[in-house]
Amino acid sequence: MSADTREPDAQGRPLRTYTDPAYRPLCDTLAQVRQNIDRLDDDIVRLIAQRAMYVKDAARFKRDAFQVSAPARQAEVYAKVRALARKHDLGFDNLEDVVETAYRALVAAFIANEQAYFDKMKTIGDST
């Protein structure tokens, strides 16, 4: 079976170049790019797993479904991650939008799971 020529050659030389003279390539091959992305993905998923446990813990402090969804906190998180994207941007156009979009999906999934945890919990003491 022959290689799919629609897929880029991971070991081949670059086929395009940026016109911005300030741009500095990070890797010599697409394989190196992918290896670095895979390394970062491992770090990112490890951190998301840690974040998930704090989301799980947060359910203990909520009174109802509205508090689980916490729309004011969501808005705060989106504004914060946009600011972090500006702070950490190394030259990627629209990074703020990419980060906010990713966080909107992340937060929606976390809220759904937090709600499931919340629904299985029992109330302790005075819930007012």
Tens digit of each residue's pLDDT (9 = 90 or more) over 56-100: 999 999 999 999 999 999 999 999 999 999 999 999 999 999 999
CATH number of 30-120, picked from 3.40.190.10, 2.60.120.380, 3.30.479.10, 1.20.59.10 = 1.20.59.10
pTM of the model: 0.87
Note the pLDDT tens digit of each residue in 13-68: 999 999 999 999 999 999 999 999 999 999 999 999 999 999 999 999 999 999 99
Kind and range of the H or E run holding 114:
helix 95-120
- Structural domain boundaries of the chain? 30-120
Check: CB of residue 58 under 8 Å from CB of residue 116. no
